[in-house]
């Protein structure tokens, strides 16, 4: 399962960078004026990364959460740096902040779910 989720996370990261300058993203910007879609976008990435790092349903070690947060955060920062070189996009510290909110929310929910699943065993 770990390899499956690692493959999904890698493909998801590829799509984040590949679609950064697509016309679909540019059109989506009109419906997303405050870039709030960064929260679920990076929340999903975080869950995929967490499942690739810690696929078991036993309680996860805090390093699993930290490693996941660091990787997802690095992707967010690198995505904004990449966007600074694209003609139709611009980098934004606010977007990185929204990425971090999505990461934290996803890890909080993952931790709560892991705790709840552990009690039913």
Please tell me which residue, 120 or 17, carries the higher pLDDT value: 17
**What confidence tens digit (pLDDT) does each residue in 81-109 have?**
999 999 888 899 999 999 999 999 999 99
Q: How far apart are CA 55 and CA 100, in angstroms?
A: 22
- Measured in degrees and rounded to the nearest 5, phi and psi for residue 62 equal -60, -25
**What confidence tens digit (pLDDT) does each residue in 24-33 have?**
777 776 677 7
> Are the beta carbons of 94 and 35 closer than 8 angstroms?
yes
Q: How far apart are CA 39 and CA 85, in angstroms?
A: 23
Segments making up each domain of the chain, as ranges: 2-119
**What global pTM score does this model have?**
0.87
Q: How far apart are CA 7 and CA 14, in angstroms?
A: 10
Looking at residue 120, its pLDDT comes to 46
Q: For residue 40, give the nearest of 116, 120, 104 by alpha carbon.
A: 104
């Amino acid at each position: 399962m770990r390899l499956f989720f690692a493959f999904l996370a890698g493909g998801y990261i590829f799509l984040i960078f590949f679609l950064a300058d697509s016309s679909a993203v540019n059109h989506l910007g009109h419906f997303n004026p405050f870039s709030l879609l960064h929260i679920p976008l990076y929340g999903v990435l975080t869950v995929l990364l967490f499942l690739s790092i810690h696929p078991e349903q036993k309680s996860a070690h805090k390093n699993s959460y930290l490693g996941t947060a660091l990787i997802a955060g690095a992707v967010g920062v690198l995505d904004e740096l990449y966007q600074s070189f694209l003609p139709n996009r611009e980098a934004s510290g606010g977007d990185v902040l929204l990425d971090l909110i999505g990461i934290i929310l996803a890890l909080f929910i993952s931790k709560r779910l892991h705790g709840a699943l552990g009690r039913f065993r």
